[in-house]
Structure 1
Amino acid sequence: MAVTGIGGLFFRAKDPKALGEWYLKHLGVGAPEGVWIWTQQAGPTVFQPFKADSDYFPADKQHMINLRVDDLDGLMASLKAAGIEVLTKAEWDAPEVGRFARIYDPEGNPIELWEPARS
């Protein structure tokens, strides 16, 4: 008997309805109100605890969501057009792993966008 994948991601929000709508509108993540299941594509998932003093994401946050994407450039353009700041750094990218960008949701939660390297 083994775990077969992540079944959900739950986090607190000041305005859960508005935040859920933001994720659905800008990232296509989640499901419309009243629908609980979001069916995603199969693919790699990183599950990695970090040291408490890591600077990989903001020290005042206990988590960072990492979302796998298939067109990072297209998504970044869409986010920027919606007025969402997109951060990139050359040192985040690695040919064997893929490309990365960061954004923050309206409540300040960090989101890492990851376009995995093509095999």
Structure 2
Amino acid sequence: MPVIGLGGYFFRAQDPEGLSTWYRETLGVGGGCGKDENGESSDWFWYPEPGPVVFSPFAATTDYFAADKQVMLNFRVRDLDGLLEQLNALGIEITTKDEWDTPETGRFARIHDPEGNPIELWEPPAG
């Protein structure tokens, strides 16, 4: 197959610069975050850690995320509890549900960015 990975994720925003800053400062996501294989960073690129990526269309009628949103971001995280403490301290509303968490899939929480886009935080199972 010629496709070897996710190359980018692009979406519309009312305040692109402000939203980029929010993602970078709040979640460590976006240009200037992480380092490449040579230990270098770039203002343009985000260098996430290697790991699994789920690519999955959902039914148009799903209630897994808000019906008025076409997509939901899902970020792999380490130390979900620590991140949730940080987000809570920033006043960010967090949703968790026991039924989302399983030993097979890991743990989940939901937040929204300042423009209301849903974000799922996923801590994969240890192992």
User: TM-score interval w.r.t. the shorter chain?
Assistant: over 0.9
Q: Which runs of 5+ in 1 are unaligned?
A: none
Which residue number corresponds to residue 30 of structure 2? Answer: 30
The within-5 A match list for 1:64-103 is: 64-103=72-111
Do residues 113 (structure 1) and 100 (structure 2) align? no
Q: Which runs of 5+ in 2 are unaligned?
A: 33-41
- What code does the residue aligned with 2:31 have? A
Q: CA RMSD in A?
A: 1.1
Q: How many residue pairs are counted as aligned between the two chains?
A: 118
Do residues 3 (structure 1) and 3 (structure 2) align? yes
Q: Which runs of 4+ in 1 moved over 4 A?
A: none
Do residues 41 (structure 1) and 49 (structure 2) align? yes
The within-5 A match list for 1:50-69 is: 50-69=58-77
SS at match of 1:74: helix
Higher relative contact order (CA 8 A, sep 6+): 1
SS at match of 1:66: strand
* TM-score for both structures, normalised by structure 2: 0.90
Identity of aligned residues (%): 62
